[in-house]
Every structure is written in structure tokens, then in C-alpha cells.
Amino acid sequence: MILARTLGNVVSTIKHPAHRGRKNMVVQPVAADTITPAGRSFLAFDSVQAGPGDLVLVAQEGNASRQVMEAPRGPFHAVIVGIVDRVD
């Protein structure tokens, strides 16, 4: 899992059937200080109703993502699995 900050929603009218009704967001990995960018931004499906600017935990592995999304054959690679309250 990685720590990331949500940057915003992605809207797509034409998509794979497994993606219908699911929110997709742009996330930016961050360092433990929660401010410093730590890699390239990427897309992740939201399973926890995160909003723009939230600090989140992202599972970035296909099998884990498909399990969280309850879609064993769906094309998912990254999914937001938690909203972080604080990092000590």
C-alpha cells in the first residue's frame, strides 16, 4: 500500500462494464511528511468515498484491487482503501 493525496475525480462516459457506477480519482503518492510528492500521479478507483485533497491509502496491485471492488475478472489495478486521519 502507498500513501497518496487525491487530486480530483475523473469523469468517463465510455468505459469498461466493470467500471460503471464506480468513482475514479487521480492520486499523487506522497512521502511520510504527507506533503512532498513521491512519484508520478496515477488513477485509482475509490472504495471509501474519498474527496479531493484527502490523504488516502491506495492498494496498487491488481488482485487486491479486484477483491476490494468485488470484481474477480474486472480490469482494476489501483484502489483507494482508506482515508488517513493522521500520520504520527
C-alpha cell at 88: 504520527
pLDDT at residue number 15: 75
CB of 68 closer than 8 Å to CB of 41:
no
pLDDT at residue number 64: 67
pLDDT at residue number 67: 61
pLDDT at residue number 70: 63
What is the full per-residue pLDDT of the chain (88 aa) written as tens digits? 999 999 999 998 887 777 677 789 999 999 999 889 999 999 998 999 999 999 999 998 766 666 666 666 777 678 999 999 999 8
Domains belonging to the chain, first-starting first, are 2-11+20-83 (2.40.50.220)
